[in-house]
């Protein structure tokens, strides 16, 4: 967990920012606190000049031991580097207390335009491919200039620097890899933001993740008023029931006009760019990850509700575009940033039966940085260290996804059946259908909430499987363990009476029922019959062929909709069942589709209409999931 000021707003309203970036040392050494930090480190505050003359506020903590040379460990953040003031110290430095006690020169910088740094703030500032003069600046040039200044001006450094960061700071840690300073030897982008239209935070496959975008930007999106050390106030809900609040607001157009239009410029930019146009493409750093010289450790959570897409695609892109880079991936059973701040032993009702957070911090992250920056022994780390949920064990792979996966297909059948073969498909009973009413949308959670809670990624889906507007397909009990790995490719044949539709697909692990649990364990458990969501995501139908050029559906015409669910590594145990649910709303997690082809961001409340959706499962039009698997 990264030290930050304890009065921060969080990144799950911004709700998790306070948890991730505050100085809260869950599961970490009680030997370290602010008095320990003050007695072992001297604090300095600088305004470091960039190549265009703007100065970035930077707090530097230097070990009081002047007989040793130390490497720099740097965080660049838009979330403030507080506590401010030379005599104010955080309770911890670095990614964990291990680093605080080990000794590094810790550097925390407000990025350009944030808090106490000069310049204008730009969300996911686009990378400049060819910097021709000193007025051309981006986040990689700011990282370069910062490291260059530190090497030349901070005494007792060993000439090596590392970057790290979680979420938005992970974005900055990733961009520091591009045209990197020679002193930068390692960077760890952890849950890094990459593409805000295709898969990170605010959109998935073009569909807006409503409460996350609204809650985050109602605070973070407000322009600052000059240099400041203070956060601005956020939105106060009139009710804890986010489902009712957003439904009664009526449309995104109404939400914008009533609450955000005059105060949050970036929200207005989102509303003005409803397709994957040049605006969104320019903010995607993935094309620039080429010829990466520093070592890279990408970290992500398999149950990260915010930036799993960024972790997976940062790793895969560097592996593809910069194959000689020392690039490793770590995926644990974590929600957003949980590897840094918690024991990581459970999420919601799901227990992983071990302290995965401490394992990562002490056995992976700490020795990796010590090797890269202090020339200590090279840790025995695989190309990919990935936790296998279900069986609850860590697995080592040469790469991710593993190269030797068997391909499997889970085919939909009539009467809610799901099978690993298509041999019994025919052209009778060729479809199932449901009525989708955007004015009575399927909730994404059974709980009363006004935020995107992190537990939804593994929540019990029984509340949804009982609804008539959710289709359910389920295997028989599994006779032996089956592990599904890597991305899940969804292939649906659909028809709709409207001209647009969303399709949400959820892959679910169904636990044995209570009676069998009682018989085997001599007790009844609330996990009996539990429907654990392993992965779920949405496809906005108008983008089925192109995110740049959306297309309407032709009413009642059979149409293929294909998309990819983000990677999993999950063992479905003997006696469990595999379930797939299909629906057309997931509210308020995903904004409502009016189910007619139009600019949804400017739709009026009266535009939202009922539609009948059909999912086909015939020999001619088979709907199925393609999966990677090990048995």
Q: Which CATH superfamily is domain 406-630 in?
A: Galactose-binding domain-like (2.60.120.260)
Determine the average pLDDT of the residues in 410-432. 95
Determine the average pLDDT of the residues in 35-45. 98
> What are the structure tokens assigned to 244, written together?
């009712």
Determine the average pLDDT of the residues in 106-132. 96
Nearest-angstrom CA–CA distance, 563 and 385: 26
Please report the pLDDT score of residue 3 as a whole number: 31
Give me the torsion for CA of 48, 50, 54, 60, rounded to 10°.
-20
Please report the pLDDT score of residue 26 as a whole number: 41
Nearest-angstrom CA–CA distance, 81 and 116: 9
Please report the pLDDT score of residue 29 as a whole number: 61
Angle at 410 between CA 407 and CA 416, to 5 degrees: 175
Please report the pLDDT score of residue 142 as a whole number: 98
* Proportion of the chain above pLDDT 70, given as a percent: 93
Nearest-angstrom CA–CA distance, 24 and 147: 28
Nearest-angstrom CA–CA distance, 203 and 210: 9
Please report the pLDDT score of residue 428 as a whole number: 84
Please report the pLDDT score of residue 516 as a whole number: 57
Question: Nearest Cα to 542, choosing from 491, 511, 496?
Answer: 496
Nearest-angstrom CA–CA distance, 130 and 127: 9
Determine the average pLDDT of the residues in 351-372. 98
Convert the pLDDT of each residue in 234-293 to its tens digit: 899 999 999 999 999 999 999 999 999 889 999 999 999 999 999 999 999 999 999 999
Domain boundaries, the chain: 15-194+285-300, 406-630
Question: Nearest Cα to 599, choosing from 196, 242, 277, 217?
Answer: 277
> What are the structure tokens assigned to 125, written together?
């500032």
E strands of 324-383, at which residues?
327-332, 346-347, 350-351
- Residue pair 525/517 in contact by the 8 Å Cβ criterion: yes
Label residue 6 by pLDDT band (50, 70, 90). very low
Please report the pLDDT score of residue 429 as a whole number: 78
Nearest-angstrom CA–CA distance, 502 and 442: 12
Label residue 89 by pLDDT band (50, 70, 90). very high
Please report the pLDDT score of residue 602 as a whole number: 97
- Residue pair 598/453 in contact by the 8 Å Cβ criterion: no
Pairing between β-strand 577-583 and β-strand 502-510 as defined by DSSP bridges: antiparallel
Please say if the pLDDT value at position 551 is more than 50. yes
- Residue pair 199/547 in contact by the 8 Å Cβ criterion: no
Whether the upstream peptide bond of residue 401 has omega within 30° of 0, thus cis, is yes
Strand (E) or helix (H) holding 432: strand 431-436
Pairing between β-strand 611-616 and β-strand 470-474 as defined by DSSP bridges: unpaired
Please say if the pLDDT value at position 520 is more than 90. no
**Same fold for the domain at 15-194+285-300 and the one at 406-630?**
no
Determine the average pLDDT of the residues in 376-393. 97
Nearest-angstrom CA–CA distance, 126 and 258: 30
Regarding pTM above 0.85, the answer is yes
Q: Give one word for 375, left, alpha or beta, with left for phi > 0 and alpha for psi -120 to 50.
A: left
Convert the pLDDT of each residue in 323-335 to its tens digit: 999 999 999 999 9
- Residue pair 22/90 in contact by the 8 Å Cβ criterion: no
More confident residue, 514 or 48: 48
Judged by DSSP in three states, 248 sits in helix
Give me the torsion for CA of 58, 64, 67, 69, rounded to 10°.
-30
> Could you tell me which CATH number the domain at 15-194+285-300 has?
3.40.50.1820
Determine the average pLDDT of the residues in 153-182. 98
**364 CB-side CA count, 13 A:** 26
Give me the torsion for CA of 364, 368, 371, 377, rounded to 10°.
20
> What are the structure tokens assigned to 194, written together?
């990459």
Label residue 23 by pLDDT band (50, 70, 90). very low
Nearest-angstrom CA–CA distance, 49 and 57: 9
Please report the pLDDT score of residue 508 as a whole number: 98
Q: Which residues are paired to 486 by β-bridges? A: 568
Residues whose CB is less than 8 angstroms from the CB of residue 218 and which lie 6 or more positions away in sequence, other chains included: 234, 235, 259, 260, 264
More confident residue, 517 or 133: 133
Question: Nearest Cα to 33, choosing from 78, 90, 88?
Answer: 90
């Amino acid at each position: 967990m990264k030290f930050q000021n304890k009065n921060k707003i969080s990144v799950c309203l911004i709700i998790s920012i306070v948890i991730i970036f505050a100085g809260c040392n869950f599961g970490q050494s009680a030997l370290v606190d602010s008095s320990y930090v003050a007695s072992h480190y001297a604090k300095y505050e600088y305004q470091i000049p960039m190549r265009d003359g703007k100065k970035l506020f930077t707090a530097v903590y230097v070990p009081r031991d002047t007989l040793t040379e130390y490497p720099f460990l740097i965080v660049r953040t838009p979330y403030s580097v507080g506590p401010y003031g030379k005599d104010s110290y955080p309770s911890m430095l670095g990614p964990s207390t291990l680093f605080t006690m080990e000794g590094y020169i810790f550097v925390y910088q407000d990025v350009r335009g944030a808090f106490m740094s000069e310049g204008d703030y730009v969300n996911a500032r686009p990378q400049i491919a060819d910097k021709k003069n000193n007025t051309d600046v981006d986040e990689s040039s700011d990282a370069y200039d910062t490291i260059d200044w530190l090497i030349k001006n901070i005494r007792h450094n060993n000439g090596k620097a590392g970057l790290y960061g979680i979420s938005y700071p992970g974005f900055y840690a990733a961009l520091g890899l591009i045209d990197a300073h020679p002193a930068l030897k390692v960077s760890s982008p952890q849950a890094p933001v990459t593409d805000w239209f295709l898969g990170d935070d605010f959109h998935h496959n073009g569909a807006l993740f409503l409460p996350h975008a609204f809650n985050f930007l109602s605070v973070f999106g407000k322009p600052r008023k000059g240099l400041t050390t203070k956060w601005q106030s956020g939105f106060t809900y009139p009710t804890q029931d986010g489902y009712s609040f957003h439904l009664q607001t009526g449309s995104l157009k109404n939400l914008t006009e009533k609450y955000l239009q005059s105060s949050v410029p970036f929200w207005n930019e989102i509303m003005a760019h409803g397709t994957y146009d040049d605006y969104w493409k320019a903010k995607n750093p993935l094309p620039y990850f080429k010829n990466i010289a520093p070592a890279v450790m990408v970290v992500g959570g398999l149950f990260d509700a915010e930036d799993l897409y960024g972790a997976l695609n940062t790793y895969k892109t560097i592996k593809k575009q910069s194959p000689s880079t020392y690039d490793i991936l770590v995926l644990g059973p974590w929600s957003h940033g949980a590897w840094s701040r918690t024991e990581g032993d459970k999420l919601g009702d799901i227990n992983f039966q071990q302290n995965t957070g401490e394992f990562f911090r002490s056995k992976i992250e700490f020795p990796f940085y010590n090797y890269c920056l202090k020339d200590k022994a090279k840790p025995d780390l695989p190309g990919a260290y990935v936790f296998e949920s279900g069986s609850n064990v860590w697995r080592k792979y040469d790469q991710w996804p593993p190269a030797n996966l068997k391909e499997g297909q889970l085919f939909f059948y009539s009467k809610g059946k799901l099978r690993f073969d298509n041999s019994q498909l025919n052209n009778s009973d060729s479809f199932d259908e449901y009525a989708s009413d955007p004015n009575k949308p399927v909730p994404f959670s059974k709980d009363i909430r006004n935020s995107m809670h992190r537990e939804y990624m593994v929540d019990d889906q029984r509340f949804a499987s009982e609804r008539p507007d959710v289709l359910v397909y389920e295997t028989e009990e599994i006779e032996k363990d089956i592990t599904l790995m890597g991305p899940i490719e969804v292939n649906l044949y659909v028809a709709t009476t409207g001209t647009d539709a969303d399709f949400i697909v959820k892959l679910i692990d169904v636990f044995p029922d209570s009676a069998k649990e009682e018989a085997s364990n001599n007790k009844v458990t609330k996990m009996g019959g539990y429907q654990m969501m392993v992965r779920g995501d949405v496809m906005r139908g108008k983008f089925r062929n192109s995110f740049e050029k959306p297309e309407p559906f032709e009413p009642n015409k059979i149409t293929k909709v294909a998309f990819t669910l983000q990677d999993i590594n999950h063992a479905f145990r003997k006696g469990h069942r595999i379930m797939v649910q299909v629906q057309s709303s997931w509210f308020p997690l995903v904004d409502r589709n009016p189910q007619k082809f139009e600019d949804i961001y400017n739709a009026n409340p009266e535009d939202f209409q009922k539609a009948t959706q059909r999912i086909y499962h015939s020999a001619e039009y088979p709907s199925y999931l393609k999966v990677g698997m090990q048995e």
